């Protein structure tokens, strides 16, 4: 069980609420709350805010600012990133912050919301994708890249013999294909930025579009 999971469970019990009572206040299933409290899944910042509100505590008491919770930090959400989708997932797009509980938190980390499922199963529509702009990207890394008006999450592939770099999706489509850039195309490279994906917050259980797709509706 993670520190965050322990904090949620402890705060709920302190408020004198059962899992069923608390899940009804949050408008989520009891099983979802049980998964939060066992550390199987992690609630997004919106859900954590609702928890704090109903428990009448500050959100810092859940995510922590002390030694026992220093692994959970807030990261700004800067927007969405294409993963083959054509519409923004409105549920996740409302979030302004995500959280990161990895070992290498830094102030420069930021988050984008995945739009589409062309990087599934590693990244699904609506997932929070944590990006590190400072780590050098290598062949085989998953990256968030931007060029002109295009931004997407794909796998970086560099072929020095062919003098090309490519951004490759797991699942190609008519609108989401491999992007190829020549390594000697200085004009294009000057407009290109790409940063490494370092963590993914899986949020499919809060994602109506992904859930309906799974059941074929």
For 82-97, what is each residue's pLDDT tens digit? 876 544 444 344 546 7
Best CATH choice for the domain 73-214 from the list 2.10.109.10, 2.40.50.100, 1.20.120.80, 3.40.50.2300 = 2.10.109.10
Kindly give the residue spans of alpha helices, DSSP state H, lying in the chain.
3-14, 19-26, 30-38, 45-55, 60-63, 90-93, 186-191, 208-214
Locate the domains of the chain by residue range.
Answer: 3-69, 73-214
* Fold assignment, 3-69: 434 Repressor (Amino-terminal Domain) (1.10.260)
What pLDDT tens digit does each residue of the chain (217 aa) get? 568 889 999 999 999 999 999 999 998 999 999 999 998 888 876 688 789 889 988 777 887 654 344 456 778 888 888 876 544 444 344 546 777 767 777 889 999 988 888 888 888 888 889 999 999 999 999 999 999 888 999 999 999 999 999 999 998 887 788 999 999 999 999 999 999 999 888 765 545 555 666 666 6
Q: Which residue has the tokens 């944590």?
A: 130
pTM of full prediction above 0.85: no
Q: CB atoms < 10 A from the CB of 76, how many?
A: 10
Q: Which DSSP letter does residue 52 get?
A: H
Tokens describing residue 6: 């322990």
CA distances from 103 to 2, 110, 141, 169, 202 (A): 14, 15, 18, 27, 18
């Amino acid at each position: 069980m993670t520190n965050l999971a322990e904090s949620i469970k402890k705060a709920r019990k302190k408020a004198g609420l059962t899992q069923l009572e608390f899940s009804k206040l949050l408008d989520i299933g009891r099983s979802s709350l049980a998964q939060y409290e066992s550390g199987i899944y992690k609630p997004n910042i919106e859900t954590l805010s609702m928890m704090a509100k109903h428990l009448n505590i500050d959100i810092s008491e859940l995510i922590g600012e002390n030694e026992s919770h220093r692994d959970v930090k807030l990261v700004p959400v800067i927007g969405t990133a294409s993963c083959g989708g054509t519409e923004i997932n409105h549920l996740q797009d409302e979030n302004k912050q995500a959280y990161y509980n990895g070992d290498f938190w830094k102030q420069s980390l930021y988050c984008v919301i995945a739009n589409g499922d062309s990087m599934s199963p590693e990244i699904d529509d609506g997932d929070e994708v944590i990006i590190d702009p400072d780590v050098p990207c290598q062949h085989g890394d998953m990256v968030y890249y931007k060029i002109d008006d295009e931004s997407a999450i794909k796998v970086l592939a560099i072929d020095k013999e062919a003098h090309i770099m490519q951004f490759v999706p797991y699942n190609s489509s008519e609108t989401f294909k491999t992007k190829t850039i020549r390594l000697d195309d200085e004009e294009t490279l000057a407009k290109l930025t790409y940063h490494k994906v370092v963590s993914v917050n899986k949020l499919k259980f809060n994602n109506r579009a992904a859930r309906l797709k799974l059941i074929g509706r």
